[in-house]
């Protein structure tokens, strides 16, 4: 008989990470600086409001000073980029997060490029994207980093295993594939043009689902004993939140699986706080030893 599936509890794991970040923040404060996070929320998208409120609360609890800037939805591209550059020059700000999506008239790539890469706690600036691709130190996107952190905390072996990533977005699919590769997994990336998705998923020891389609990954596809990380956040037909994986049927086959909600989601915020503390520490180290690469390497 198959061993019982392990439910990877992202809520509890995120609470552990957040408590560790609070200790790091206290150490940084002892060095005379309180880590600061600036969140830029353009317009009044209700879903973004909820995300920003949760980030604000978690950061404040960890001892990080949070400032939320709320430019009007009609702000121009140059004005938004100027605002982000101002935050880059502000010594009390160590992390800058521009909540996406932006209103349609704005180009997110241009805004992200205006962020000082040392403060780019979402890890989306081309310099950080390049650093990840080149195995150089940098700030790593929070959701992919959260997936790896969950694997580490649950003792999931990655080296030598076949990891199948479904989704190839800049935000999740590509960076998580690179992080898995850096951990010596053998990585396959699937997308909307993949032929025989079921067959490829079925060969995975580790599956990362990052698509945004409820129940796309069928339980019967999962290789017995595989670890399933479900990044998707969807509304099911019953109106409830659900992931990209058919949770019940997949749990009957998987060795370990993340629920939605309460899996990868809470880890994202925890990793945002961790990135902010790292960026603040790197800024302090840079002042202490100008010209040297800091411990955080950023």
- Annotated catalytic residues are 55, 99, 122
* Nearest approach, Cβ of residue 215 and ligand NAP (Å): 11
Q: Which of 93, 131, 250, 264 binds ligand NAP (CB under 6 A)?
A: 264
Strands of the chain, DSSP E:
6-7, 36-40, 65-69, 95-98, 162-166, 186-190, 206-209, 227-230, 234-235, 241-242, 256-257
Q: Applying CB under 6 A, does 190 fall inside the site for ligand NAP?
A: yes
* Nearest approach, Cβ of residue 2 and ligand NAP (Å): 27
Build a one-symbol-per-residue string for 207-236: x at contacts with ligand NAP by CB under 6 A, - elsewhere: ---xxxx--x--------------xxxx--
Residues 2-61 binding ligand NAP (CB under 6 A) are none
* Nearest approach, Cβ of residue 263 and ligand NAP (Å): 8
* Nearest approach, Cβ of residue 202 and ligand NAP (Å): 14
CA distance linking residue 42 with residue 206, whole number of Å? 37
Nearest to 250 by CA among 231, 274, 273, 227: 227
Q: Applying CB under 6 A, does 201 fall inside the site for ligand NAP?
A: no
Q: Applying CB under 6 A, does 191 fall inside the site for ligand NAP?
A: yes
CA distance linking residue 116 with residue 88, whole number of Å? 5
Establish whether the linkage from the previous residue to 151 is cis, with ω within 30° of 0: no
- Residues 6+ away with beta carbon under 8 Å from 203: 162, 164, 188, 223
CA distance linking residue 203 with residue 188, whole number of Å? 10
Residues 106-165 binding ligand NAP (CB under 6 A) are 143
Tell me which residues touch ligand NAP (CB under 6 A): 143, 166-169, 171-173, 190-194, 197, 210-213, 216, 231-234, 264-265, 268
């Amino acid at each position: 008989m198959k061993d019982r599936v392990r439910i990877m509890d992202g809520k509890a794991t995120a609470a552990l990470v957040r408590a560790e970040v609070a200790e790091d923040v206290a150490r940084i404060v002892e060095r005379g600086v309180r880590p600061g996070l600036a969140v830029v929320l353009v317009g009044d998208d209700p879903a973004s409001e909820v995300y920003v409120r949760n980030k604000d609360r978690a950061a404040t609890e960890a001892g990080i000073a949070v400032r939320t800037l709320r430019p009007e939805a009609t702000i121009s591209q140059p004005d938004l980029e100027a605002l982000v550059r101002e935050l880059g020059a502000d010594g009390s700000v160590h992390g800058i997060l521009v909540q996406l999506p932006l209103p349609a008239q704005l180009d997110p790539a241009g805004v992200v490029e205006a962020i000082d890469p040392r403060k780019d706690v979402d890890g989306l600036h081309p310099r950080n994207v390049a650093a990840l691709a080149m195995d150089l130190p940098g700030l790593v996107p929070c959701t992919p980093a959260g997936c790896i952190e969950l694997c580490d905390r649950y003792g999931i072996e990655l080296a030598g295993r076949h990891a199948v990533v479904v989704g190839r977005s800049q935000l999740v699919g590509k960076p998580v594939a690179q992080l898995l590769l850096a951990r010596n997994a053998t990585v396959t990336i699937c997308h909307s043009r993949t032929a025989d998705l079921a067959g490829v998923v079925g060969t995975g020891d580790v599956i990362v689902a990052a698509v945004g389609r409820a129940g796309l990954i069928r339980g019967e596809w999962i290789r017995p004993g595989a670890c399933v990380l479900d990044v998707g956040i969807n509304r099911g037909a019953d109106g409830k939140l659900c992931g990209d994986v058919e949770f019940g049927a997949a749990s009957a086959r998987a060795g370990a699986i993340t629920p939605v909600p309460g899996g990868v989601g809470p880890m994202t915020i925890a990793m945002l706080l961790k990135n902010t503390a790292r960026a603040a520490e790197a800024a302090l180290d840079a002042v202490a030893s100008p010209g040297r690469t800091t411990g955080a390497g950023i």
